[in-house]
Amino acid sequence: MNNLTVMLSISSFLIIIVFIVIMRHQGKEIVIKSTDLVLALIPILIYLFLSGQIKSITVGDFSLVSALKKASLMKVEKSVTQLPVDIIPVGDKSTYEKIPYLIKSQVVGLKFKMGYEGYDADQIKYYVESLGKYTFFKYLIIENESGHFVAISNIEEFYKPYNKIESENNVEKLILAIESNSVHELLKVSNFVQDSININTEKRDALKKMQINNTKSLPVVGNSMKLIGVVTQENLAASLVVEIADQVNR
């Protein structure tokens, strides 16, 4: 274990302990319970274990390895984030008037129809640029003519305000892939991901797929291949910590 890892681990541990104490602190008395120490260590130990820095952890009768294994075998269902999305408008320039509504409703993503030949490059650029300024806007979603999921991309990968040329190129490539109805070409555009999971997928399998696809989120589809929502690395990591913490407190 290198010095940087040690320093980061110690700093994280102290920050979590301080946070726990502040959350509980009442009056002048400060109390740190033994369970606080364990809970503060959990996210750090999970990182060290998953990164291969340590092989096993046992504290009394509690084994982090068995607790982590049990938590990772749980389904992703409770970690799925629903997506309020809107279909990308087509037609004349008056459709630009919809942007204030999308901002007000904090739309998370825009949907495109594979095989459609009427998308306007300037219009899409304007929509992506306008919505890309807001943190709530996260995804571009591609469906086929039947409304079944095809692929998804994180807006952070697609829209790069510091590189306008690359962002515009991504729009051009996206339109060409859609018009040619080519999933192969679509997957070349800015980290679009076709791989999906369902609500019964185990958390460990979801994390493995994220690693394989080099993405921080995965689409969740139903039996009819309709998009239900997404799961993110952050949500899965947080749920693992909560589930292990529950085991500590039992």
Per-residue pLDDT reduced to its tens digit, 114-159:
999 888 888 899 899 999 989 889 999 999 989 899 999 989 888 8
Q: How many CA atoms lie within 13 A of 63 on its CB side?
A: 6
Residues 8 and 106 placed together within one structural domain of the fold: no
Contact call for residues 99 and 123 (beta carbons, < 8 A): no
Question: Residue 153 class from Cβ within 10 Å (0-12 exposed, 13-18 middle, 19+ buried)?
Answer: buried
Residues 219 and 140 placed together within one structural domain of the fold: yes
Dihedral of CA 182/184/190/196: which sign?
Answer: positive
Task: Quote the CA–CA distance of 233 and 67 in Å, as a whole number.
Answer: 19
Residues 59 and 109 placed together within one structural domain of the fold: no
Residues 129 and 221 placed together within one structural domain of the fold: yes
pLDDT in tens, 181-215: 999 999 988 889 999 999 999 988 898 888 888 88
- pLDDT tops 70 at residue 250: no
**Cβ-based neighbour number of residue 35 at 10 Å:** 12
**Cβ-based neighbour number of residue 162 at 10 Å:** 6
Residues 124 and 173 placed together within one structural domain of the fold: yes
Q: Give the chain's domain count.
A: 2
Task: Quote the CA–CA distance of 225 and 157 in Å, as a whole number.
Answer: 24
Residues 107 and 218 placed together within one structural domain of the fold: yes
Residue 6 has a pLDDT of 44
pLDDT in tens, 69-78: 777 778 888 8
Residue 42 has a pLDDT of 58
CATH code, 127: 3.10.580
- Print the domain residue range for 241: 3-74+237-249
Residues 48 and 134 placed together within one structural domain of the fold: no
Tally helices (H) and strands (E) across the chain.
10, 9
pLDDT, greater one: 55 or 204: 204
Residues 203 and 147 placed together within one structural domain of the fold: yes
Contact call for residues 71 and 243 (beta carbons, < 8 A): yes
- pLDDT tops 70 at residue 89: no
Contact call for residues 228 and 81 (beta carbons, < 8 A): no
Residues 24 and 68 placed together within one structural domain of the fold: yes
Residues 90 and 69 placed together within one structural domain of the fold: no
What count of residues does the chain have?
Answer: 250
Task: Quote the CA–CA distance of 185 and 178 in Å, as a whole number.
Answer: 9
Question: Above pLDDT 90, what percent of the chain?
Answer: 23
Residues 107 and 204 placed together within one structural domain of the fold: yes
Residues 115 and 150 placed together within one structural domain of the fold: yes
| DSSP 8-state code for residue 246 | H
**Phi, psi at residue 216, to the nearest 5°?**
-100, 0
Q: Looking at the whole model, is its pTM more than 0.85?
A: no
Q: How many CA atoms lie within 13 A of 37 on its CB side?
A: 5
